Amino acid sequence: MANGVNIKVENLSLSFGKNEVLQNINFEAKAGEIHCVIGPNGGGKTTFAKSLLGQTYHNGKITFEWIEKRGIVGYVPQIINIDKTLPVNVLDFIALCIQKRPAFLGVDKKFKKQVDETLDKLEMKNKSKYLFSELSGGERQRVLFAQALIPNPQLLILDEPMNSVDKSGAEVFSRIIDGLKQNGATVIWIHHDLEQVQKIADKVSCINKTVVFSGEPKSVMNEKNLLKIFSSRQGE
């Protein structure tokens, strides 16, 4: 099995001023596992992802135990605000993300093959010269996903990438992520589509300021627990 990471979160709490966003979160994800995070809007899912990425000041402990050496982390943000008039095409954007060589000199030779293959898998190769501003919401999500796959990540964190993705796109995403899982990578996937979560997740955690429930989808995604998500107010 390839490199992956076991993640353990203990008593994670975080506040923005007087607003307590996360409260005593305890969470575990294993290498070779797809762990979906669900919950109502404003429940702290994105903040939780950013805490895992080391981008927040928080209380509590987050431990990463890599199976081999420290691996590559991929991240797919929810949205990206690129000035509509900026001449950044798909290849430029990926080059900006993945390499040190200035993106205006083109994609680095050592990444070229993987960039082509990844765009092909995501059905975006024929749009590689399109400006980012000319892409639909779903196509932008595919490009954001593509950059996270280069080089191959051992930990992939996705923040609701499926918001604007159509059904065929969702299937492509799931297929690629399943491939990563087979290679031993750890996938933390913030998701809003409960039906999809039941199909793809090995584990699911519901976060609404704190962990409401966590476990295997079959055992925890029952009517009683799901009602808890949708009957509660944001952050309650």
**Distance from CA of residue 43 to its chain's centroid?**
17
Report in angstroms how near the CB of residue 74 gets to other proteins at its nearest. Answer: 8
- Is residue 223 involved in binding other proteins (CB under 8 A)? no
CA distance 51 to 109: 34
State both tokens at 130. Answer: 């399109």
- Is residue 195 involved in binding other proteins (CB under 8 A)? no
- Is residue 19 involved in binding other proteins (CB under 8 A)? no
Report in angstroms how near the CB of residue 15 gets to other proteins at its nearest. Answer: 16
222 CB contacts (<8 Å, ≥6 apart)?
none
Binding residues for other proteins restricted to 93-132, rule: CB under 8 A: 95-106, 129, 131
Report in angstroms how near the CB of residue 10 gets to other proteins at its nearest. Answer: 22
CA distance 56 to 166: 32
Report in angstroms how near the CB of residue 29 gets to other proteins at its nearest. Answer: 17
What are the angstrom distances between the C-alpha of 138 and each of 11, 12, 16?
A: 36, 33, 31
CA-CA-CA-CA torsion sign (74, 76, 77, 83) = positive
CA-CA-CA-CA torsion sign (23, 8, 142, 129) = positive
Report in angstroms how near the CB of residue 155 gets to other proteins at its nearest. Answer: 10
Q: Out of 69, 87, 223, 230, which residue is the one contacting other proteins (CB under 8 A)?
A: 87
Q: Site size for other proteins, by CB under 8 A?
A: 34
Minimum CB distance to other proteins smaller for 47 or for 205: 47
Task: List Cβ<8 Å contacts ≥24 apart for 176-179.
Answer: 176/121, 176/122, 176/145, 176/149, 177/34, 178/34
- Is residue 69 involved in binding other proteins (CB under 8 A)? no
State both tokens at 104. Answer: 């205006």
Q: Out of 10, 11, 65, 86, which residue is the one contacting other proteins (CB under 8 A)?
A: 86
- Is residue 81 involved in binding other proteins (CB under 8 A)? yes
Report in angstroms how near the CB of residue 77 gets to other proteins at its nearest. Answer: 6
**Distance from CA of residue 175 to its chain's centroid?**
15
Site string for other proteins, 129-158 (x = CB under 8 A): x-x---------------x-----------
> Which residues are at the interface with other proteins (CB under 8 A)?
50, 53-55, 73-75, 77, 80-83, 85-89, 91-92, 95-106, 129, 131, 147
